Amino acid sequence: MRALRLAVVLACCALPAAGQDLMRSVEMPAHQALVKSIGTAALSPFETDGCSGGLSTSWRLVAETFPKFSLLYEAHPPWEYCCVTHDRAYHNAGGALQANASFDARLAADDALRTCVKTHGETYADEYAERYDMKPDQIRSVHSITSEAMFMAVRFGGGPCSGLPWRWGFGYPGCSVFDTPARD
């Protein structure tokens, strides 16, 4: 299943329009299961880990362990606010109440994350270039690469009903595409 999902994600990057159609068809059962579970579930209070997948946690650990790192690179990822905004959308599944709307809202949230990280790099390129003894174009490039990597990571690992703590709709109780309807 993971190999199939990786192939689908890679296809989505190579062929954006056809890739999104393929991704929609693969992911739709999970969005349908999520929407079904939302109907009877209460939304938990919002919580965030900053940038999921261990990014913020690892960054903070390195910053605490190596104070010079923290002085130079800060105590948290400088674009962490982008991740918190992204987490807000993921928490309540973008407010979607239909499976197609849920897929579209997730894609929009993931694209907004990518855009936010890239824009952060563009906005602070001159400041960071001076701080890190780099050229502004290098800063922009690093943020662009980072934003694409983050987009790919959330597209691959953030789907609904995955059981992961950073899944789409994480504010609702877990759901499963393997639930079978009750039989009479």
Local mean pLDDT, 10-residue blocks, the chain (184 residues): 48 58 88 92 94 91 90 92 98 96 97 98 96 94 96 94 93 83 43
Which residue, 79, 87, 93, is CA-closest to 49?
87
pLDDT at 99: 96
- With a threshold of 0.75, does the pTM exceed it? yes
Tokens representing 17 are: 């329009």
Tokens representing 76 are: 């948290």
| Residues 147 and 118 sit within 8 Å (Cβ to Cβ) | yes
Tokens representing 132 are: 């890190």
